[in-house]
Amino acid sequence: MENYLKKNFEVEAKNPSEEALRRWRNAVRVVKNPRRRFRMVADLAKRAEAETKRKKIQEKLRVALFVQKAALHFIDAGTRVEYKLSQHVLEAGYGIEPDELESIARSDKKALEEHGGVEGLAREVSVSLKDGIASSEIANRQNIYGINKYAEKHSKGFFMFFWDAFHDLTLVILMICAAVSMGVGIATEGWPDGLYDGLGIILSIFLVVMVTAFSDYKQSLQFKALDKEKKNIIVQVTRDGFRQKISIYDLVVGDVVHLSIGDQVPADGVLISGYNLTIDESSLSGEPEPVHVNQQRPFLLSGTKVQDGSGKMLVTAVGMRTEWGRLMVTLSEGGEDETPLQVKLNGVATIIGKIGLAFAVMTFLVLTARFLVEKAFHDDIKHWSSDDALKLLNYFAIAVTIIVVAVPEGLPLAVTLSLAFAMKKLMNDKALVRHLSACETMGSSSCICTDKTGTLTTNHMVVNRIWICNETKIIKRDENEKSLKSSISEVVYNILLQSIFQNTGSEVVKGKDGKPNILGSPTERAILEYGLLLGGDYKIHRQESAIVKVEPFNSVKKKMSVLVSLPDNGGFRAFCKGASEIVLKMCDKIVNADGEVVPLSEDQRKNMTNVINSFASQALRTLCLAYKDIKDKSNVDGIPDNEYALIAVVGIKDPVRPGVKEAVKSCLAAGITVRMVTGDNIFTAKAIAEECGILTHDGLAIEGPDFRAKSPQQMQEIIPKLQVMARSSPTDKHTLVTQLRSVFHEVVAVTGDGTNDAPALHEADIGLAMGIAGTEVAKENADVIIMDDNFNTIVNVARWGRSVYINIQKFVQFQLTVNVVALTINFVSACITGSAPLTAVQLLWVNMIMDTLGALALATEPPNDALMKRPPVGRSENFITLTMWRNIIGQSIYQILVLGVLTFYGKHILGLSGSEATLTLNTFIFNTFVFCQVFNEINSRDMEKINIFRGIFDSWVFVLVMVVTVGFQIIIVELLGTFAETTPLNWKLWLASVVIGAVSLLVAVVLKWIPVETIEQSVKDKHHDGYEPLPRGPELA
């Protein structure tokens, strides 16, 4: 079976090939209800159609942007439309029509100038470029200019899911059989006695369809809520006079939006101001070349990404009035790729379905042959009555019902149910799963490459130490500026404040409460907070000098620089801050205690290196602040990279998050190797890694430049011991991930927050983007977004991923056992006695127990601590393990023996006699069979441990399903005998049914003593690839 599954039903978890997707679709043969079975499967035809539409829109946009760039004004002038203000726009207080405003971002600069530039547009949409819109105007603006949402297909209602569930071919055939049965029954037995058999089947079908539709509908609501959350982006705007964060859905025309590296442009707009703003328009136009947005080319289009720089824009069009809105409608077609487990279980369902179909045909042929032989034996072959027709119809109904039970249509859908449940729980636990497959893949992860800042640490940074004027000072929060001011000269004090407030990508704004609020990255906030503590004033220092050029911080350069013009025509001054060793190399001078710039001697440089290492070894993030005066006004094409004067070295404290050490220990015990990949100094990285329990005594810490200088062979030698990579670039992270996946065949999860982390996030098996510190580019390339940037949340995703995998295995074990027993009992009984002990109605109830209700009970169990004490599931491991086969075969043998004995010797054993003896025996067999499944469902909660009751009350869904199953079984046996062909049982027979079912618990205990782990281990050893295994497991913990 496994070889067949691997050949036909194997797809990659991430970016599967179209060939693999088509291969498994072609291999699926026995499908009862394609509409339901393939509901969560990508529609490849629709996807291809959507791709064609997308390319057409991109081509149209590419031409429009080319015209705009080439400034072909005469073309635009010839086709420009005259707009007249409508009454409702005038009454709303605006001076421009929505259609005209929408066209501006796709027009040329001349069209913008006709409206008086960005200031004129701001007047026409009644907004202050300084204070933004007033919150009270939002509803009015949405009414006139639209909302920032694109058109989506209406979600299906409950009736549509009910209708889909009714498209099961076998259920339709059964309904026809039931209708014929009722017609013949009424004709022969009269009203209402002839009605009951057929009506029982119809009511059972209706119940099955109702429960199935309700389960599917609940899943769809969960996915809809998650989908809305996935598309939600937090945008920074100025409203009511202060900066604030809002949802992209709340953005309106007239909003002043702040953009920085990695942001997605949330709507069409016009640039107000900016520095080095570079936009990647490839997602919209398909053009890979970045576009520089400035006052000459001020237009910004929704859906594009900020590649570099920063800026402010005025929103001119939102939602479906943007090209991105129209493009997104096509992108939503076709659906998401199916997960590897969904595909694999489609394969399992196909194999079982073929076997079930064969058994059903054989059962019908055997029953019919016996019936015909009996008629021939009694010389009655030429005489046919309505009773004979009903018998044959009943045989056919039983055969069809066997197909209903035997084809496990719910297997692939159980994966969806389990994933929906896990994704909802993870959302509550601050993890947003963007791709379904990531949830199950995370359960197989064997390596996590994690960032340090904000993930292992709290991300609440404060300046803890500063080296300035040859002195190290410890910063205390209760001290004011006088303590530092008194120890350094006025010149040094002023230059320090200038370097803090002039060279920053953050902003100090007034909050709603009137207090200063610092917006920006945690490192920037810490430095600005320190500047305010020193008595500095953000606005005053920013107004002292005009900013000429800005080079924002990025993870490659590891520094930020700014060029400002000094007042009174005093030339220019460049400020630089960043990674200590990088900025120190750029310095050849130092600011002394008197504020004079003096040459930096070799001894001083060594001393500075010792100071930096001293700070770093205390787990402090170190930054150097430096400046350079430029007298030559003609040479200001770029910001210089050398001959700076060192002002200070700052040590920033970022404490380790509570619980991280325990989480790392949990990972190691689970066989998951944790590696820290950070841009920080190696001493800082090692100190934090040791504190977290990542770096062990025999582990290796290396710097990015050293790692990238290694040959592939050397990398293979060091990677098994590599635990910390410091001063790493995004390229180093990508190289490490590639090596781990391709050479060591690891399932790798990697965290990232910056735009440059996108390739590593895309390459990894599971890309984890940070929700707080992460850019929109990083989030878009990730599979899971960690909303609280917490390593504990990453471990929780791994726990839930393992839970999904093991829950599906439990459900498969349970369902296969029911299949084997139901098929065998009905077939053997048909062959020997000429009748099936389980009727169509009873089999439909059994089908609901093992399908929808079984999936609800077993596929939604929450994770337990034991899951993180076993090694991860490898890429090539069999889904149906030897342990599962042991349990399936053992339980099946017990149930078949018990039910077989009851079928042939039940009357004698139970002492049954009289006209009701056969009906009572069949009812007892049916009741015993159901209780065997109830207790087997409890057995399936743990495939290896003997105590299967541990944590049973933690899963209220499981308990509820058990109660509903037993309760409805009592109702069927005691009250619905007319429809279900049962008769009430006495207390002794009820007790006997429960006891026989409960014995399966003891059978499970015996089975679990049969060892299979040694066989499985020898299979794994046989497929070892020869590389040194990566260190992991409880011994590391």
**Residue 634 — pLDDT band, cuts 50, 70, 90?**
low
In the predicted model, is pLDDT for residue 324 greater than 80?
no
Give, in order, the Cα–Cα distances in Å from 957 to each of 115, 247, 968.
62, 34, 16
**Residue 1025 — pLDDT band, cuts 50, 70, 90?**
very low
Q: Which residue has the higher pLDDT, 56 or 880?
A: 880
Give, in order, the Cα–Cα distances in Å from 426 to each of 419, 420, 492, 1020.
10, 10, 51, 32
- Residue 982 neighbours by CB under 8 Å, 6+ apart: 842, 919, 922, 923, 926, 972, 973, 976
Q: Which of 316, 270, 315 is nearest to 293 (CA)?
A: 270
What sign has the CA pseudo-torsion 366, 370, 371, 375?
Answer: positive
Lowest-pLDDT choice from 45-54, 140-149, 449-458, 533-542: 45-54
- Whether the CB-CB separation of 780 and 478 falls below 8 Å is answered with no
Q: What is the pLDDT of residue 181?
A: 67
List, for residues 775-813, the tens digit of each pLDDT value.
888 888 888 988 888 888 888 899 998 888 898 889 888
- Residue 945 phi/psi, 5-degree rounding, is -80, 150
Q: Which residue has the higher pLDDT, 311 or 1019?
A: 311
Region for 514 from its dihedrals, namely left if φ exceeds 0, alpha if ψ lies in -120 to 50, beta otherwise: left
Once rounded to an integer, what is the mean pLDDT over residues 79-84? 62
Q: Cα(83)–Cα(78) distance, rounded to whole angstroms? A: 15
Percent of the chain residues topping a pLDDT of 90: 19
Q: What is the pLDDT of residue 61?
A: 67
Pseudo-torsion of CA 479, 480, 482, 486, nearest 10°?
A: 50
Q: Which two tokens stand for residue 719?
A: 């990677």
Q: What is the pLDDT of residue 478?
A: 64
Q: 878: burial class by Cβ within 10 Å (0-12, 13-18, 19+)?
A: middle
Once rounded to an integer, what is the mean pLDDT over residues 563-587? 88
Q: Cα(352)–Cα(347) distance, rounded to whole angstroms? A: 9
**Residue 75 — pLDDT band, cuts 50, 70, 90?**
very low
List, for residues 900-928, the tens digit of each pLDDT value.
899 888 888 988 888 888 889 989 999 99
Per the annotation, the verdict on 451 as an active-site residue is yes
The average confidence (pLDDT) of the chain is 82
User: Which one of the listed residues 451, 765, 789, 942 is annotated catalytic?
Assistant: 451
**Residue 371 — pLDDT band, cuts 50, 70, 90?**
confident
In the predicted model, is pLDDT for residue 1017 greater than 70?
no
Beta strand 597-599 pairing with 587-591? antiparallel
List, for residues 928-986, the tens digit of each pLDDT value.
999 999 999 999 988 888 888 888 888 888 999 899 999 989 998 998 887 778 899 99
Q: Cα(444)–Cα(877) distance, rounded to whole angstroms? A: 10
Q: Which of 653, 276, 153, 278 is nearest to 453 (CA)?
A: 653
Q: Cα(416)–Cα(216) distance, rounded to whole angstroms? A: 9
Rg of the chain over Cα atoms, rounded to whole angstroms, equals 35
List, for residues 719-767, the tens digit of each pLDDT value.
999 999 998 888 888 899 999 988 888 889 998 887 778 888 888 889 8
Q: What is the pLDDT of residue 837?
A: 75
Q: What is the pLDDT of residue 196?
A: 65
